[in-house]
Amino acid sequence: MNRPLISPSLLSANFADLRADIEQINRSDADWLHIDIMDGVFVPNISFGFPVLKYVAELSEKPLDVHLMIVNPEKFIEEVKDLGTMMMNVHYEACVHLHRVVQQIKDAGMKAAVTLNPSTPVAMLADIIRDVDMVLLMSVNPGFGGQKFIVHTLDKVRELRELIAHTGSQALIEVDGGVNLETGKQLVEAGADVLVAGNAVFKAPDMLDMIHRLKSL
Ligand code: DX5
Ligand code: ZN
């Protein structure tokens, strides 16, 4: 079992002092920085927009893992690319022409990930799994940090691991929502490659130590 990649979610950072939190992440064992973009339509919340993220991107030394919780995410491929994004995550539920959107993301020079809401079955990925670099399984309903982990996600991770093995896909498995030391351990045992953690990291007394401990699961 490999050590998981850790992608701290900036949604739980101190928005009054993002610079301090990003500098902490830069100094940590974190692998990526997870950024949640919301539109108040696809999810019942709004987070940060591109004018703020431009400065976040300049400060971050970690590759950006950008999670778009918006309708019509294909409209913003250029803006996401201009941040220097490594991985662009779009929701399965937000893309009627998912195959086209995945190709557009890759043509723009980014890695492409497809995200599933908790109620969307892994089986829906059968015809796209070979084309994506990562699948992001939501383990809470998207929109807010600090929610309780949905335990059924562990079954979805195992099912996705099988689908990846059977199809010869190279996709990584990332999980987002309610991840802490306990749920993180269960996820790694089930086959997750990347753990997103918001509250567990940014509300920890020692952020660097928490990231190190998650990374050591
Ligand atoms: C929720 C976001 C998550 C969120 C996770 O919609 O996609 O990335 O920040 O926060 P925690 O880890 O606190 O559940
Ligand atoms: Zn997220």
Q: Which residue has the CA at smallest separation from atom 7 of ligand 1?
A: 142
- Read off the pLDDT of residues 60-91 as tens digits, 9 standing for 90 and up: 999 999 999 999 999 999 999 999 999 999 99
Span 172-194, pLDDT tens digits:
999 999 999 999 999 999 999 99
- Please name each of the domains of the chain with its CATH number: 5-215 (3.20.20.70)
Pocket of ligand 1 (CB under 6 A): 9, 11-12, 34, 36, 67, 140, 142-147, 176-179, 196-200
| Substitution candidate for ligand 1 out of 21, 32, 147 with most atoms within 8 A of CB | 147
**How many CB atoms are closer than 10 A to CB 189?**
13
Cα pseudo-dihedral 74, 75, 78, 80, rounded to 10:
-70
pLDDT in tens, 114-156: 999 999 999 999 999 999 999 999 999 999 999 999 999 999 9
User: Whose atoms come closest to the Cα of 177: which ligand?
Assistant: 1
| Average pLDDT of the chain, as a whole number | 98
Q: What ligand is nearest to the CA atom of residue 198?
A: 1
pLDDT at 53: 98
Handedness of CA 184, 187, 176, 150 (dihedral sign): negative
**Residue 111 token pair:** 């890695």
Helix (H) / strand (E) element for 64: namely strand 64-69
High-pLDDT (> 90) share of the chain, %:
99
Residues with CB under 5 A from ligand 2 (ion): 36, 67, 176
Q: Which atom of ligand 1 is the closest one to the Cα of 143?
A: 6
Which residues define the annotated binding site for substrate? 9, 67, 143-146, 176-178
Q: What is the DSSP string of 120-143?
A: S-GGGGTTTGGG-SEEEEESS-TT
User: Quick check: 20 pLDDT over 90?
Assistant: yes
Q: Which atom of ligand 1 is nearest to the CA of 197?
A: 12
- Which residues define the annotated binding site? 9, 34, 36, 67, 143-146, 176-178
Whether pLDDT at 159 is above 90: yes
191: left (phi over 0), alpha (psi -120 to 50) or beta: left
pTM: 0.98
CB of 129 closer than 8 Å to CB of 171: yes
Tell me which ligand sits closest to the C-alpha of residue 144.
1
pLDDT band for 1, please (50, 70, 90 cuts). Answer: low
Bridge partners of 8, per DSSP, are 197
